[in-house]
Structure 1
Amino acid sequence: MTDSPDPLVADHIRRFLETGGQPRPGISDLLLTTRGRRSGRLRRTALAYVRDAEAYVLTASAAGADRHPAWYLNLLADPAVTLQVGTGTFAAVARVATPAEAERLWPRVVAAMPSYAAYREATERRIPLVLVTPAPLEPAGATASAG
């Protein structure tokens, strides 16, 4: 697994691991692992999230940059991801929020991380929201082929 090459994100990952998933008091953080769309390597980044029922809502803000973050492009290519929330890790599936979902969720995202409002103003691109839900469990024996 390769951690983000961004020194700030790499430090965030280190603090997440050292604190059992609580690097920033009052902010919900998780670790997202995607598969690199070109390299095929597992790539890990730290992100803030809000919950919406069983979904973890992630904001592909790239701090207001005019390009999408690499983790977002990776999960578009392969939506099978891994999340670490606190000390627990589980397989999950990611999808981009629909426009109606994003409109409903955006105020909650900004309430949790007010900097996202400034990021939205700083870029002309639409900042996507991503819904990540635990992967369905396969029944025992589901991988065995019949016949």
Structure 2
Amino acid sequence: MTDDSAAATHEGRPDWMTKHLQTYLRSGGTQGHIMDLSDIGGHRFTTHCLIRVRGRKSGLTRIFPLIYGDLGGEVVIVASKGGADRNPDWYHNIRASQHVDIQIATQAFRATWREPEFEERHRVWEFMVSAYPPYLAYQRATSRHIPVIVLSPETEINVFSESDLQSG
């Protein structure tokens, strides 16, 4: 898949991510955690978290809603970008930081992160494909190796709010 075809996929759901993020933030996490993605090949009860990262270049704070899986008490996210040829910016921002903030429903945490390798990476990837089957098509559509990130929540923090967005 090219970046253009990944963009075309997003056109089918205009402003969906923005509306999802607003719903999640405005409700304090009581809405937006579980979404029905069956219309795009996902499951009816697909879990979503929010991640909050600071731009490595801009210094701006950004919040992204992402599908996640809970694997043995760790949170797994996938840097799929819909099968685009480039990794999402949030992935590069996480790699430039020691920690990432994550919100799951009505709880938020500062977390450490790591990228699993070898057999663990294969096991985690298969788990996430079962959680959201379109990941398999995304991987087939691009030559890049889609990264998976494992987050280990450590310290509880306040839930995210709209005022957290784009602060410098």
What is the TM-score normalised by the length of structure 1? 0.82
Query: Residues 23 and 104 from structure 1, CA distance in 2 versus in 1: closer, same or farther, beyond 3 angstroms?
Result: closer
How far apart, in 2, do the equivalents of 1:7 and 1:133 lie? 30
**Are residue 91 (structure 1) and residue 99 (structure 2) matched?**
no
For 2:50, the equivalent position in structure 1 comes to 31
| Superimposed CA distance per residue, residues 20-66 of structure 1 (whole angstroms, 9 cap, x where no aligned partner) | 14340411100000111101222110000111112101000000000
Single out whichever of 44-53 and 91-100 deviates more from structure 2: 91-100
- Counterpart selection for 2:65 from 32, 46, 64: 46
> Any unmatched runs of 5+ in structure 2?
1-13, 37-44, 157-168
The amino acid across from 2:15 in the alignment is: P
Q: Identity of paired residues, percent?
A: 34
Give the drift of 1:101. 1.6
For 2:20, the equivalent position in structure 1 comes to 12
How far apart, in 1, do the equivalents of 2:150 and 2:15 lie? 26
**Are residue 119 (structure 1) and residue 138 (structure 2) matched?**
yes
Give the drift of 1:7. 3.4
Report the 3-state secondary structure (helix = DSSP H, G, I; strand = E; otherwise coil) of the residue aligned with 2:152.
strand
How far apart, in 2, do the equivalents of 1:83 and 1:73 lie? 16
Give the drift of 1:136. 5.8
For 1:141, the equivalent position in structure 2 comes to none
Q: Map of 1:71-90 to 2, 5 A cutoff?
A: 71-90=90-109
What is the TM-score normalised by the length of structure 2? 0.72
Single out whichever of 74-83 and 98-107 deviates more from structure 2: 98-107
> Any unmatched runs of 5+ in structure 1?
1-5, 138-147
The amino acid across from 1:72 in the alignment is: Y
Report the 3-state secondary structure (helix = DSSP H, G, I; strand = E; otherwise coil) of the residue aligned with 2:126.
helix
Between Structure 1 and Structure 2, whose CA radius of gyration is higher?
A: 1
For 1:103, the equivalent position in structure 2 comes to 122
Q: How many residues align?
A: 132
| Superimposed CA distance per residue, residues 87-135 of structure 1 (whole angstroms, 9 cap, x where no aligned partner) | 1111111221223221011221111101101100110000010001113
